[in-house]
Amino acid sequence: MNDTPLFPGFRPHLADVGEGIRIHAEVGGEGPPLLLLHGHPQTHAIWHKVAPALAERFTLVLADLRGYGGSSKPAGDADHANYSKRTMARDMLRLMQSLGHARFDVLAHDRGARVAHRLALDHADAVRRLVLLDIAPTLAMYEQTTEAFARAYWHWFFLIQPAPLPERLIEADPGAYLRDVMGRRSAGLAPFDPRALAAYEAGLRQGGAAHGLCEDYRASAGIDLEHDRADRAAGRKLGMPLLVLWGEEGVVHRCFEPLAEWQRAAGDVRGRPLPCGHYIAEEAPQALLDAVLPFLQA
């Protein structure tokens, strides 16, 4: 396997965000700050194909979410509040503050996009522009669940089962879980650099990693929905410019109307599908850059 680093020239940063939690990030590039957040079951390594071009224009902060990669993986609370997107968003705000960034842009995929959505709602003054990849709002996706969606996103309903059942099954063979979840998507495993796959598997093999990602999903099926319903009842919407992109070969495109759902959740939104499946940054890196660079540089 090629042993060239995925992010040459980047430096590691470990931020103490309170309550004994440390968030790991890789930092590099030059220019306005841009926070990048990954999805499940991955790490910050998802950005390796687009980081070189972005680093020419932005100071990149490639973070690992709480429960993933090099970040802390605490035991979940009884109500999963310490893995709520509100808590995970606060992690990211404090990470950026630790680097001296009071206001920044965000580019986020999958689970990271759900954290970014909450970050932009709870800390609107901190987020200048927001890009969300291959999600509809969490509340919309749960409330509109169909048989087709449940079959395709089976892991949503597996991971929320009470501990330790899903943790035990994942820990029995983390590599198989990773390959099955990622390889069953439209593009299979072909788009993934072996170095990135190795990073994802190494992250999943860490103690507490299976529990952390399960708690992320348990929170989304419980306390996060409470927070989202409260926002909807209060009429709270995203106010900053929002770009939403999704894969035209993916489940979100097939089962939902992403742009229409985000138009209900934000006042200034635009978006379109890209010619790929779920893992946009790795399947269609140039298409992603072509879409996000004009938006972020506006």
Using DSSP, state whether 30 is helix, strand or coil.
coil
Q: How many CB atoms lie within 10 A of CB 144?
A: 13
Indicate if the alpha-carbon torsion angle 15, 16, 22, 23 is positive or negative.
Answer: negative
CA distances to 27, 73, 99, 167, 191 from 3, rounded to whole Å, are 20, 27, 29, 31, 18
Q: How far apart are CA 28 and CA 89, in angstroms?
A: 21
List beta partners, residue 91: none
Q: How far apart are CA 44 and CA 234, in angstroms?
A: 34
Q: Which residues are catalytic?
A: 110, 278
Angle at 247 between CA 231 and CA 151, to 5 degrees: 75
> Tokens 């992250």 correspond to what residue?
203
Backbone φ and ψ for 111, nearest 5 degrees, come out as -60, -40
Token code pair at residue 179: 């390959």
Residue 38 contacts residue 10 (beta carbons within 8 Å): no
Residue type, 111: R
- Cα–chain-centroid distance for residue 223? 18
